[in-house]
Amino acid sequence: MAHCTAILGAGPGLGTALARQYGREGHAVALVARRAGPLAALAARLTEEGITATAFPADLRDPEEVASVLAAIEALHGAIGTLYYGPSLPETFIPAFSLSVATVKEKMELFLYGLIAAVGAVLPGMRARGRGSILAGLGGSAAVGLPFMSGPGPALAAARNYLHALHGELAPEGIHVGMLTLSAVIRGSGWQEGMASGAIRIDLPPGFTIPEVDPEALATMLRQWAETRAAAELIYPPPPQRSTD
């Protein structure tokens, strides 16, 4: 049976690494992101590597567009067996006290509403088949709110809540829902490029550092973890182990 993996929010970091990970396993890979040019270039590069990769430009903030593009993917490649939702919005963090309703709404459209629309589009087929994987990539602010490092956090926290609930509801049906909660900068990503150029400036709390991680290693870790289907959440870096003494 053919396998199709849809990667929503495909970019130069983890999205590309995951495309390689699944593509090398024989999956047809559908790449979805807003900017058509870079997306087409990514699909061409993966095709040169022997991976079946197709670009599907779409705005993930538009629920109708999300549903439409996923229908187009299935029309071309067949049923989507794995959905990965991991859009990135490289930008400077802002203090929580400066948030506005408009700012939060914008983040909710990308990180929560688009996710719900994507799940709603693929879930009926997965339930009918009794199998499937729904994975998502979240920033660390989904789990921990830090002073002066807000912006996407409230929307990511809502998405994390939604995914945890889905995990418990769908596991008995053979559908795995899992999320990567990442408190690290992915090498080669838009975040790293923005920080290197000075376009993104992060004022970290005293004693707080953000490590870097290789996207290929992270993709391998996520793929292997997803195969176990044991837990709803993979946290990286792993939280420190508490002493039993």
CATH number of 63's domain: 3.40.50.720
Among residues 182, 97, 95, 170, which one has the least CA distance to residue 140?
Answer: 182
**Residue 243 lies inside a defined structural domain of this protein:** no
Burial of residue 129, with CB atoms counted within 10 A of its CB: 0-12 exposed, 13-18 middle, 19 or more buried: middle
**Residue 197 lies inside a defined structural domain of this protein:** yes
Query: Angle at CA 2, nearest 5°, toward 221 and 73?
Result: 85
**Residue 244 lies inside a defined structural domain of this protein:** no
Entry pTM = 0.91
Task: Give the H/E segment covering residue 181.
Answer: strand 175-182
**Residue 177 lies inside a defined structural domain of this protein:** yes
**Residue 242 lies inside a defined structural domain of this protein:** no
**Residue 182 lies inside a defined structural domain of this protein:** yes
Q: What pLDDT tens digit does each residue of the chain (245 aa) get?
A: 458 999 999 998 999 999 999 999 999 999 999 999 999 999 999 999 999 999 999 999 999 999 999 999 999 999 999 999 999 877 778 889 999 999 999 999 999 999 999 999 999 999 999 999 999 999 888 998 888 888 899 999 999 999 999 999 999 999 999 999 998 888 777 666 766 666 666 666 666 667 788 999 999 999 999 999 989 999 998 876 554 44
pLDDT of residue 242: 56
Burial of residue 67, with CB atoms counted within 10 A of its CB: 0-12 exposed, 13-18 middle, 19 or more buried: middle
**Domain that residue 146 falls in:** 4-234
**Residue 88 lies inside a defined structural domain of this protein:** yes
For the chain, the domain total comes to: 1
Helix, strand, coil share (%) of the chain residues, nearest 5: 45, 20, 35
Tokens representing residue 99 in the block: 């948030």
**Residue 245 lies inside a defined structural domain of this protein:** no
Q: Compute the residue count for the chain.
A: 245
Contacts for 55 with CB less than 8 Å, ≥ 6 apart: 31, 36, 39, 40, 42, 43
pLDDT of residue 1: 44
